[in-house]
Amino acid sequence: MLPTVAGIPMDIDDRILYFAGSPPIVADNCYVAPNATLVGDVTLCESSSIWFQSVLRADLNSIRVGPGSNVQDGAVVHVSDDHPTLVGARVTVGHSAVLHACTIGDEVLVGMNSVILDGAEIGNRSIIGANALVTAGTKVPPGSLFLGSPGRVIRTLSHDEQEGLATWAERYITLAKAYRSGKVQPYRPPGPQTPVL
């Protein structure tokens, strides 16, 4: 919900100051890749991880990433005037996915290159397939397999399928610990060599 002054919603300049001026809040045991970008009113809960070249921009509303969740490489998370982006616990957001002003329940798998738009709500323990488009305002029931562009619910996931979804997040919790400890060293090519005269 937008902040108000004397019951009147803030104008865009005030919102930018309110949200973009807020420093991100990052729990101590999170992993944020060196070239990931966090802007404004972003909250990362414990054991969450944000991976290489991801952008979380909360300049007009808030972004919250729940405990044990991961936002993988190249993903974009943004907001709208009317909707924050809320990511539940033990969620996996695949590479290059776009979350825009939406709500993601707990233990959801968001597939690579999928797009979830304003006001959409994804129920707990669902799968949004790779390249799926969840149109604005769509409500995906808990335990759903959602595929296609534009997408639709294909079926209800089995109990075992739903139980297994947290495994993806748990793997990333372990991987993030390794990166935080320095056990994984990304390769960076050497700079240009000075010619010998």
Residue 189 belongs to some domain of the structure? no
Residue 104: pLDDT over 90: yes
- Count CB neighbours of 35 within 10 A: 11
pLDDT band at 5, cuts 50/70/90? low
Residue 186 belongs to some domain of the structure? no
Contacts of residue 175, Cβ cutoff 8 Å, sequence gap at least 6: 49
Residue 197 belongs to some domain of the structure? no
Nearest residue to 91 via CA among 130, 117, 119, 123: 123
Domain count, the chain: 1
36 with 52: CB under 8 angstroms? yes
Structure tokens at 66: 């729940």
Residue 32 belongs to some domain of the structure? yes
Residue 127 belongs to some domain of the structure? yes
Residue 111 belongs to some domain of the structure? yes
Residue 194 belongs to some domain of the structure? no
CATH number at residue 172: 2.160.10.10
Helix (H, G, I), strand (E, B) or coil at 57: strand
In this prediction the pTM is: 0.90
Residue 67 belongs to some domain of the structure? yes
Residue 132: pLDDT over 80: yes
Q: Which of 5-9, 27-31, 141-145 has the lowest mean pLDDT?
A: 5-9
Domain extent for 105? 4-181
